[in-house]
Structure 1
């Protein structure tokens, strides 16, 4: 168990009373950003889904409460894992326990669906803890990128709170551990699998079995609430037996009957009995008896709702917004979404986003397989894919208009995009929000017969990866994109995946691997006679050698690139080569050369309209002047760069500019201003990737020097 060095408050009382499960409610994490870090951190989240009634779980709830009381007495946090069959009521039990504790835990409630059954794989812990941190008031600029840093910040922010946490549908103990809060808080984990690995964390393991017949009949009686169970007790018993005692199956069957107040229970029994062979066979495998109950709910849907249900079962990701629904149907679907939500077949995740319960999604996909023609399924998936590709490409254009967008391949039908406006940060936020779906599309595209989409969508994600440093995803999508480009025999696409993917490898610290990718692209360009493409790889190869500490080799490659790129018609790329030359010269102490090259790069990039890289060049030129102790031109250069980079949501480059401004302030004796610049730079560095942690530590050391003590 994990000990805590703090006192504790004893909480007495036990959860009592018979109750009936009315359903399992899932929901996304909702957060609201307010101005001011202190105000954000003071906000109290109340994220638990609504309390649902359960039956025949008194023994289990008593056991959970005994565990909590014991850990509180011993000074440990309470951690419990509730496991069992899908639809058995794990979430309902956890909610009953945690809701009862909430009055004694005023710090709030956190909730996350960890998506063990998601077709795209379980939720990544870094994404989940990132959402928790945003809920607790951490801004995007304050957000660390590395999982370890996010988890540490999360534990720090929760150490002094009194809160309860529900981690729903977990896949593994490793997925759960980074999401455990600090302090003496209470965490419940639900999973379809037993999780012995959590025992080392002081976890109490509780396994739920299906309801006994009488408890299931009680659930059915409360669900109907109209006297039919009392009037037809034997039929009610037969019905819940056909549902195998699973609360979800009983609830769905009861809801179907409740919608038909004149229908006898016998009618529902006959309907299930007619599929008894299938129902009993599927019940052996666990959750599939729920499929029979869902079939009955599905059959009662209006045609337009049934079609949307089927088609959204084809969606590659686990959660979707209304724009992709409109794209899938090629029409407004708000009323139909409401019908599916009211039928408990779709969960409202907030912010006009929805998701299926995992079993319901499988059921929807099976209905699409059964009832939609193959060409209709392909066309619907293509409309979804085109929506994501077109919107991501638009986001790419907004954030990085200088990125050389390669041609995109769309289907024959009109493409419907989400409205992103013109704000760069908003476009980046959309890319980050949809990143799980975009990755799911990339992995789905090639098997589905759309291989070009895989590399094109990976290409569209360039500005997100460059600005917000999702390095693991960067590597994964470019690997899949490269495979797709190779399958197509598209050498231009292969080279783009190699060069863009190689930059991601540099960020991951895999410099030799990056160099191999750049050299492979160079050979491909050379073989195909593409002189411009080959010249561009000189720049990339130089970056790899620079990261490997081979500054002489890097300088030679950058010098060649600076000459050959303008000769091939790309003055902008030549300006980038001069920028890289200046960086190497500054590192080698060649200050006059660094100043000359940085100034030339600044002029060229401004003339080319590449304001992002022009701002980078201005910062480097300012650093070169600082190194030469020429302070007069520095402030104007750095202030201009800072304004540009902030407007582009380029946090890492903004931080580097702030560091240079801090140095300038120190040279002028403005110690307080220097500290302010360093503090802001540290916040930005901490929000970027793990590969930039050395930069964060360097800034931290400067702050410690100025303040005379270590900086947290």
Structure 2
């Protein structure tokens, strides 16, 4: 029968026809009227053999706690174990139920409900027929209808202590007629979660992939030799490639076990090529990871299956719900379809509307996209994903740094889905940081996929994150990719932006010579384009590089030139930044009054331009300059004002400077306890900005140790 007939039969389960019995111990036989069932009691022991369980102790403990509570309340115990195909659901259930045999002497019943079979699962009346015969009802006396079989089954189990395993269930409706009565224990396994069984008192257990150590233990158990102990690094790589899926680890281990002379590195090399990984994780005629995932895929409704395929094209490790909406645009919301993927255990829940593919499932989904989607549709989906991240990052950039000169963005056809990145700078920075692995993956994918504009524009949108939270490795990589894309496009304006923004990153990470070379290359490009304003803007950058290279006089000349030229070319804000750089240079040289003059002028112009971030930086320099000449009241006022503004912008590095200055104020006033706390706060801020090894952090650490010799300052 098909699934429609299965549903029709299930509807009969509420009506009982024919004779029913309520029996405990049965001696001799059960006698009915003419034509009704008769039989003898039997004790079935149907569970398959148990397999060694690795690292599922918390789940086993939770199941046993649920059983103990149910027995204490004199009711049946029902638990559902769900998870991805090959995750070890049946293994866990068997381990639990086999351990219960001493407490349940009346037998064990087992049925494979065949949810993944082409026919859509075994009908409950068929399973009940087998269960009744196993419990002693002669075949001719098994009732004909589902309702009658259910009634007889519950009567026979009312006073028995049984364990029942219903393996690979399709739906709660398929399971419900098979639940025994009395104080029995039933475990249901299913790839999908079964919320419908909750009303029956079901306890849900959802299995996640194994951790690295447990997967290593499983590999060693499968090999049964010393190769894991002898080659631990290779073994760790192998289980990483299997992504903690027990079936994958078992298959890889079994293939190695068949070749005792083969090193684990051989299997690692075979699995490293993503395209062939699912083929390698197979044993002919037996276990096969791809076939296991195919079974789950075939149960999906068409639209959910399409979402699964298209999400397989996502290049990063996890994603938000908005990505699913983006790949389906303009078809509509994806919430219900995502739930279906979760119900089928094809997605892992990461909370807060975030989802993750198991690594092997992602490969499977991408493979299905290659099989079932046209090249044009795949390209459109990849572009929609890229546009989603570019538009969302640009929105975050505008919130964090509204003064940044955002260049035009080029999106593909169709609606662009924008994520909720928050309403303030802190939230937007947090969004960028959380999504950074995805943003970098999209950026690296964009050029090979034929979207070079996305590549450099995404690098540009990441500027405020890099500037404030100092992810230097990603900063360098993003701008190298972006620069290559700009050169490929022959877009001189984009090339200059990548050179200047990327150069600031090189400057911050200590590559001063390289930064200067990038700034000078940008200056030449601006001159070639006769862009005098662009060339004038490079004066600031080149001056900063020269300052870091220990050439302060040359740096001062460029800053003064920029301060004079930029306002006349229409960029008063950049001219004010040049004055701020002069202030910083003067302060470093010990010219505090000159620093106060430049910083004050810079602060006024930056506030007029609406650049509150850099205005706060100017205030911080003013505070430091007043501190240098022992004007402690003015220093505290300016530093506190700067800190209040910078806190709202999540500018941890600049905040650390301000807090360090306030610590010095407290120290000079003899407020030692306050000074200690502020130095500690400054060090925490430097660490959160990735600058715990900077000269400024080392100064704060040294001052803290001087105040408290027992303080490590780490």
Shorter-chain TM-score tier: 0.5 to 0.7
Aligned length: 499
Who is 2:648 aligned against? 647
Could you say if the C-alpha distance between residues 307 and 280 of structure 1 is closer, same or farther in structure 2, counting changes exceeding 3 Å?
closer
Could you say if the C-alpha distance between residues 664 and 527 of structure 1 is closer, same or farther in structure 2, counting changes exceeding 3 Å?
same
Matches within 5 A, 1:4-83: 19=50, 50=59
Who is 1:414 aligned against? 415
**1:292-334 Cα distance to aligned partner (Å, 9 max, x none):** 3323332232111111111111111121111111121122212
Task: Answer yes or no: is 1:426 the counterpart of 2:423.
Answer: no
Please give the alpha-carbon distance, in whole angstroms, between the structure 1 residues aligned to 2:536 and 2:237: 62
Q: Are the aligned partners of 2:653 and 2:691 in contact in 1 as well (CA < 8 Å)?
A: no
Could you say if the C-alpha distance between residues 433 and 94 of structure 1 is closer, same or farther in structure 2, counting changes exceeding 3 Å?
farther
Task: State TM-score, norm by structure 2.
Answer: 0.63
Could you say if the C-alpha distance between residues 305 and 513 of structure 1 is closer, same or farther in structure 2, counting changes exceeding 3 Å?
same
Matches within 5 A, 1:407-556: 407-556=408-557
Who is 2:282 aligned against? 283
Please give the alpha-carbon distance, in whole angstroms, between the structure 1 residues aligned to 2:94 and 2:476: 42
Please give the alpha-carbon distance, in whole angstroms, between the structure 2 residues aligned to 1:707 and 1:506: 34
Who is 2:340 aligned against? 339
Matches within 5 A, 1:189-338: 246=251, 283=282, 289-330=288-329, 331-338=332-339
Superposition deviation, residue 203 in structure 1: 11
Aligned partner of residue 529 in structure 1, secondary structure: coil
Who is 1:112 aligned against? none
Please give the alpha-carbon distance, in whole angstroms, between the structure 1 residues aligned to 2:235 and 2:376: 50
Please give the alpha-carbon distance, in whole angstroms, between the structure 1 residues aligned to 2:448 and 2:548: 37
Who is 1:628 aligned against? 629
Could you say if the C-alpha distance between residues 663 and 282 of structure 1 is closer, same or farther in structure 2, counting changes exceeding 3 Å?
closer
Q: Are the aligned partners of 2:87 and 2:209 in contact in 1 as well (CA < 8 Å)?
A: no
Could you say if the C-alpha distance between residues 434 and 94 of structure 1 is closer, same or farther in structure 2, counting changes exceeding 3 Å?
farther
Aligned partner of residue 449 in structure 2, secondary structure: coil
Q: RMSD across aligned C-alpha pairs, in angstroms?
A: 4.1
Aligned partner of residue 348 in structure 1, secondary structure: strand
Please give the alpha-carbon distance, in whole angstroms, between the structure 2 residues aligned to 1:644 and 1:287: 64
Please give the alpha-carbon distance, in whole angstroms, between the structure 2 residues aligned to 1:49 and 1:699: 45
Superposition deviation, residue 673 in structure 1: 2.3
Please give the alpha-carbon distance, in whole angstroms, between the structure 2 residues aligned to 1:591 and 1:637: 14
Aligned partner of residue 447 in structure 1, secondary structure: helix
Could you say if the C-alpha distance between residues 648 and 488 of structure 1 is closer, same or farther in structure 2, counting changes exceeding 3 Å?
same
Superposition deviation, residue 614 in structure 1: 0.6
Aligned partner of residue 402 in structure 2, secondary structure: coil
Please give the alpha-carbon distance, in whole angstroms, between the structure 2 residues aligned to 1:466 and 1:642: 17
Q: Are the aligned partners of 1:507 and 1:691 in contact in 2 as well (CA < 8 Å)?
A: no
Who is 2:671 aligned against? 670
Higher RCO by CA contacts (8 Å cutoff, separation 6 or greater): 1
Please give the alpha-carbon distance, in whole angstroms, between the structure 2 residues aligned to 1:246 and 1:606: 65
**1:491-540 Cα distance to aligned partner (Å, 9 max, x none):** 11111111111111112211111111111111111111111111111111
Q: Are the aligned partners of 1:88 and 1:248 in contact in 2 as well (CA < 8 Å)?
A: no
Please give the alpha-carbon distance, in whole angstroms, between the structure 1 residues aligned to 2:89 and 2:666: 56
**1:191-244 Cα distance to aligned partner (Å, 9 max, x none):** 999999997999998999xxxxxxxxxx9xxxxxxxxxxxxxxxxxxxx9xx99
Could you say if the C-alpha distance between residues 355 and 96 of structure 1 is closer, same or farther in structure 2, counting changes exceeding 3 Å?
farther
**1:166-213 Cα distance to aligned partner (Å, 9 max, x none):** 99677xxxxxxxxxxxxxxx88758999999997999998999xxxxx
Aligned partner of residue 414 in structure 2, secondary structure: coil
Unpaired segments ≥5 residues, structure 1: 1-16, 26-47, 54-85, 98-165, 171-185, 209-218, 220-239, 250-277
Unpaired segments ≥5 residues, structure 2: 1-47, 63-83, 96-207, 240-245, 255-276
Superposition deviation, residue 376 in structure 1: 1.3
Could you say if the C-alpha distance between residues 519 and 206 of structure 1 is closer, same or farther in structure 2, counting changes exceeding 3 Å?
closer
Superposition deviation, residue 704 in structure 1: 1.4
Superposition deviation, residue 290 in structure 1: 2.1
Please give the alpha-carbon distance, in whole angstroms, between the structure 1 residues aligned to 2:93 and 2:532: 64
Could you say if the C-alpha distance between residues 502 and 328 of structure 1 is closer, same or farther in structure 2, counting changes exceeding 3 Å?
same
Aligned partner of residue 446 in structure 1, secondary structure: helix
